[in-house]
A and B are shown apart, each in its own frame.
Chain A
Amino acid sequence: MSILGLELRRSAAAGAALLALAVGVAALYLIPGRWSEGWMPLVLTSKEYLILLWPLALAAGAWQGRREHRAKVGELFATTPRSRARRMLPVLVAMGATLGLAYLLVLVAGGVRIASTASYFPPDVVVIVLVGVLSLVAAAWLGLGLGRLLPALVTAPVLAVAGVLLVFFTAIMRPWWLGAVLSPVYGSSMWYPFQTIDSGVTGALAIWMGGLALAGVLLLVGGSPRARVAAVLPVLLGLGVATAIVPRDKAALLAPVDPVARELVCTDDAPKVCVTRVHANVLESVTPLAREGLAVLAKLPGAPTEVHEYARAIDEENPAVRDDVVVINVRIDDRGGLALPDVVVLEVVSGLGVGYTGDCPRDPAVERAAAYHLLGREPVSDLELYPEMIWEEPELNAEAVALWQDLQELPPAEALSRVAAVRAAILACQDSTGLLSR
């Protein structure tokens, strides 16, 4: 019979891998909205959950590593010709392969949900996933080595907690570049759009993990105390090389942006509607709604003719306001499709198609009344429509409704000219208060 098959059946490998798979899939599917947007969010979220899986692999390795001591087979095995290194090979392969495979299957489980909707596949995804697999293999092998070195029952739980604390605190430590080298979850919590992980950071992590893996193998296979002390060398070497190649500039370390992801993908015909490449799969759903919004705005003179998605990356300057382009947010639901389709038209029309830059005076009540006049319905508070809004001035909607009712009493041409005046004022960066009620 195959010895590898024997180890797969009788060691902790299968159990640990199944547990890792269960934990990973459960964690992912508890909040699918975090990663339904595309492949990079899926990969980053899975990487974030390594905070659970890495210590699990480490503890599983430690549990398995004490097997020879626990079973007291040392005496018997010492009389056999096969070297310790060759004897340990099946266990190393079994633990490493099953845990690595478990991680890949977690990603596959997430991938099946987004495969039909996520159109943009950045090549960085492959590297990040592979280094994630390497991290788990390194944890398992390091655990095996430490479990053999310290075969007490208490080793596995101590390593589990130590692993959690290590992964967590290295991810948030200063200096950032050291955290990027040491932590398998560095850079994985998503807090801005078009997020990615710099390939230098991924490479540095890979080298550190490689050092840990090698140290684990040396501890497991080493015969003499000298060989076990030698296990420190790959750790130091890995740390040294990794810190040498990890990028030190803030942009790459703290907020790396994927430039391809934010390129705009547009419709071929007019009026043009563009979304970012990462959302390209919802272009078809957004286009009719955006064009509906443009049609509403078309009643005004000098109306915008294009709708673009907001594509500003972090740390970038605010783009200049163009009077022929409406900029909107495109939201993705937890199935990968367009979220809140009812709100798209409103978003095109609100602010009369002019985006906020922060330096111009804006009157939200006036703008809301004007926008809803064009839409032909009574103003409604934003709190009910946008899930990310958590506070609105309590009097705002009442004021907007009052202004809107006044507009309804005017003759249509007069009302429209006042609305056009509001838009002209906004474009000229002037205060629009009172323009509706003169």
Chain B
Amino acid sequence: MRTVSTAETAATIHPWAIHAQALRVRAGRHLAVDGLDLSLGTGVHGLLGPNGAGKTTLIRALATVAKPAGGKLTLLGTPVDGRADLRPARRALGYLPQHFGFYPRFTVREFVAYMAWLKEMPKADVPAATQRAIDRVGLAAKADARLKTLSGGMLRRAGIAQAIVNDPQLLLLDEPTVGLDPEQRLDLRELLRDLGTDACVLVSTHLVEDVVAACTDVVLVNEGRLLWQGAPEALGAQGDAGHPGDSPAERGYSALLRRHRAEATR
């Protein structure tokens, strides 16, 4: 459960946490996201797609790092395209990039607190929120260890801690399970489910079983466009024994991709 501020208990006028219409985003010269329509509300959404499908670019655009080249994008009711002020959206945002950059000399606690300061959290709330975030990711024992002494998995969890320190309404995680051992992955799934009860969480991952276990909703993108969106069970129903994959979800995934590629060549 998140602690909720009065601003949030005021009637939420936005039906969707993320609302993209014909979104176009460039990655270099290539148009990685090309005409994407997406509407996501509260819950844990898994973002699947092949490499080069534009997943990371989409997440970067949602995190307000990449500016959209066209279309409309609204986060938590505030538009973030054009010349809008991004600060209100960013205050309610949590982001873990795929290549997590950090200050090696900082301790976990210091880095999470620094990120809390960067997210303009009220000063009085920072220590408690930092401790809570560190506890939730299971790094309490290592809270005062320097980031450079942490293993890959612990570093990833520290990254998740900084993403959730401000109790974001919109949480974007790009490959959060990289480097985690199976037990830690289970803990993360539990955390995601908990977070998804009152925030919009978008998890980009290649691990289909994580998506099935933790997500309430699956978003499949390919070549910069939305391919399919639905519940994980429905994904499983898309495929049958004839498609490659070791689980219903994987078979459904390959089925959808194959269908899309077949349509594209037509």
In the bound complex, how far is the Cα of B115 from the Cα of A77, in angstroms? 8
- The binding surface of chain A is classed by DSSP as helix
| A-side contacts of B103, CB under 8 Å | 10, 67, 71, 73
Across the interface, do A71 and B90 meet the contact criterion of CB distance under 8 Å? no
| A-side contacts of B87, CB under 8 Å | 81
Across the interface, do B102 and A71 meet the contact criterion of CB distance under 8 Å? yes
Across the interface, do B64 and A76 meet the contact criterion of CB distance under 8 Å? no
Also in contact, A78 and B102, with CB within 8 A (given A1-B127, A3-B117, A6-B114): no
B101 adjacent to chain A (CB < 8 Å): yes
In the complex, the chain B residue whose C-beta lies closest to that of A7 is: B114
Across the interface, do A81 and B117 meet the contact criterion of CB distance under 8 Å? no
Q: How many A-B residue pairs have CB under 8 A?
A: 64
Across the interface, do B115 and A80 meet the contact criterion of CB distance under 8 Å? yes
Also in contact, A80 and B105, with CB within 8 A (given A1-B110, A72-B99): no
CB distance from B26 to the nearest CB of A (A): 16
CB distance from A133 to the nearest CB of B (A): 27
In the complex, the chain B residue whose C-beta lies closest to that of A1 is: B113
A82 adjacent to chain B (CB < 8 Å): yes
Counting chain A residues whose Cβ lies within 8 A of the other chain, the interface size class is: 10 to 19
A322 adjacent to chain B (CB < 8 Å): no
Across the interface, do B106 and A79 meet the contact criterion of CB distance under 8 Å? no
Also in contact, A79 and B101, with CB within 8 A (given A1-B110, A3-B114): no
Across the interface, do B99 and A82 meet the contact criterion of CB distance under 8 Å? no
B63 adjacent to chain A (CB < 8 Å): yes
In the bound complex, how far is the Cα of B30 from the Cα of A409, in angstroms? 112
In the bound complex, how far is the Cα of B86 from the Cα of A270, in angstroms? 84
| B-side contacts of A394, CB under 8 Å | none
Across the interface, do A81 and B100 meet the contact criterion of CB distance under 8 Å? no
| B-side contacts of A10, CB under 8 Å | 103, 105-106, 110
| B-side contacts of A67, CB under 8 Å | 103
Across the interface, do A79 and B90 meet the contact criterion of CB distance under 8 Å? yes
In the bound complex, how far is the Cα of B105 from the Cα of A6, in angstroms? 11
A387 adjacent to chain B (CB < 8 Å): no
| A-side contacts of B105, CB under 8 Å | 10
Across the interface, do B113 and A80 meet the contact criterion of CB distance under 8 Å? no
Also in contact, A76 and B101, with CB within 8 A (given A10-B106, A81-B119): yes
| A-side contacts of B65, CB under 8 Å | 75, 78-79
CB distance from A226 to the nearest CB of B (A): 16
Mark A33-45 against chain B: 1 for CB-CB distance below 8 A, else 0. 0000000000000
Give the top 4 A-B pairs by smallest Cβ distance, nearest first.
Answer: A72-B101, A80-B118, A81-B90, A81-B87
Question: Which of B's residues lie within 8 Å of A, judged by CB?
Answer: 60, 63-65, 86-88, 90-91, 93, 95, 97, 99-106, 110, 113-115, 117-120, 126-127, 162
Question: Which of A's residues lie within 8 Å of B, judged by CB?
Answer: 1, 3, 6, 10, 67, 71-82, 87
CB pairs A–B below 8 angstroms (17 shown): A1-B110, A1-B113, A6-B106, A6-B114, A10-B105, A10-B110, A67-B103, A73-B101, A73-B102, A75-B65, A75-B101, A76-B97, A76-B101, A76-B162, A80-B119, A81-B87, A82-B119
